[in-house]
A and B are shown apart, each in its own frame.
Chain A
Amino acid sequence: MKELRLMKGNEAIAEAAIRCGCDAYFGYPITPQSEILEYLMVEKPHERTGMVVLQAESEVASINMVYAGAGCGRKVMTSSSSPGVSLMQEGLSYCAGAELPCLLVNVVRGGPGLGTIQPSQADYFQSTKGGGHGDYRLIVLAPSSVQEMCDFVGLGFDLAFKYRNPALILTDGAIGQMMEKVMLPASVNRWTEEEIKQQTPWATTGKPADRPANVITSLELDSAKQEKVNQKLQAKYAEMEKNEVRFERIQCDDAEYLFVAFGTSARICQKSIDLARAKGIKVGLLRPITLFPFPKDEIEKLAGQVKGMLSVEMNAGQMVEDIRLNAKGKCPVEHYGRFGGIMPSPDEVLKVLEQKFIGG
């Protein structure tokens, strides 16, 4: 049954996982995302749906448990925050290489290194450009509200299974810790053994007499064959770019200037738009929801319309590179960032827009 609740973003992810028929969560605590594991431990989803929740001995173990579960055709997930996600990169690359559908949540904190526990968006490059070794991509979803934290769990699993590829929810400590109203979806049952065999004919579900054994691996020592594996992966990523681009346009129709921002930064920019429009400055916001695939065409289209774009990020300038590539010189593209766990304020962002483009 659908249900309205006031929840933290982290709790919404955990509850959504139970309700969308997730088979298993493996994780290791780290601030600012520990509520995901805590909530699951308190909820005892094993009693509700049969979902397994396990605190692994490390992040490395967590991602390898995900590899194993996904290889058996199960809906499995893990979550962590930046330093923990760095530890998972090897396993994630293996998941991508073996084409395993799974869900990872990164509630980003400020880095580099152990950094801080406050929110940040400094893992954009790691999330969208690979992160681990080899030519691979994750499907990257960037929620900007607690409702989207909830919704993107089901969406992430759907896309992961559609493309046999790991999906990542890239969020940050602010949305993880914040409480908002959330409409929880009705529960769906976990797949039965029969459904798993139907949905994932490639998985290691026990070899029947009428098909060869399924092997889950990312190893192929014959380079000619490994090139074919790569070509297949690239074709899959091209399909994602064609079909799965998601974004939100906010007051773009008459905009003379444009903010481009995702997640928490996009929320801050929405307030900056209200402040700007009260002063007669026509600003809009393009909010990429998928960071891979990136809304390339929409950026190019809007670059032909506005006098300037400001990429607002809680990092030193990462997404701005993708914006510049796709604006193709049609308008100036500037960046404004705060780092190390500091979030910009709405009036600060507006002041930067005025300084960079209007001469305030």
Chain B
Amino acid sequence: MRLSLILTERRNSFTFLCPSLKTHSTQKGIVVGTSNRIETVQAKRRKYVRSKYTLPEFLVFKLPLLIFVGLLYGMLVWTIVVSFSNWQGTAPNFDFAGFKWYRLMVGLDRFQVDVANNLKWLSLGVIPTVILAIFIAYLLELGSFRKLESYIRTLILYPVAMSFIVTGTIWSWMFDPDKGVLNTILRGVGLGALQGRFDTNPSTATYWLILIFVWQYLGFSVIILQASLRTADIHEMTESALIDGASRLRILLQIIIPNIRSGILVLVSLLLISTLKVFDIVYIVTFGGPGSATDVLAFYMLIATFQQHLVSLGAGIGVIIFLLAAIIVVPYTIYAFRKWFE
């Protein structure tokens, strides 16, 4: 029973894989039984799992995911449609308007501020985080400090469990120029000259918001790089390099970093996507202000859509955010795809 089931299902693939067996069995009828057994063994060795889905299996495994992903892409297409139509005010209006809203968008001062701020987020939210994370991960990896590892891990990783809203609330309190914690402490230790206006100074406010992001994501970055370091297994290489008299800095630059390249790439992609999506921090700490100094695309999209009721403009900004995200996400997904199907 078992044998025949396998055979009827897989005959084609087996004759393709083992032509010699086939000729063997057709020439000498007597060996058929043996060759069948061989085929069964090979079936197991190939780790073959039936790839055809029956109807109930299709309904259970594929359909839900197909529906949800289909819905997501349907909505994406719908947003693109809205961005090319003429929807302003509360009532939907799908008259074709061409690139009207995109042209309007590019000319807006606020849009230009947003792009500049988004670039600040993309660069300053990512580069310092990655450099600090490499440094900390490397320090933790240097043999003798292993005991401290779980302490540091918990210490810097706990913000991962917090929402941007909570972190934003906390840091607003730290930043408050008058009563706030940072300025009070600076005054307390006699460094009153260093007091800052932090998030209330239009020209530097965005940097302080980015600092919150870096603070929150540092621990996450460190554990990703640590995992990458562990799989790279570079202990022997660093040992022998040390014996050869290489400095630790050189080891870091010439052995460690090249070996965790893929980990760094993954981390950079994830951080880029996160900084692009950031809007909660801006919302809770400065609400885009002072003026529109800390505004970002993700925040203006909401304002345009739900406050100014320029729905088509909001959809257009959404499309721009998506295109920027796609530049990062598509290569990243292809990389993940290779790993997944290897």
A-B interaction:
no
Q: Which residues of B contact A (CB under 8 A)?
A: none
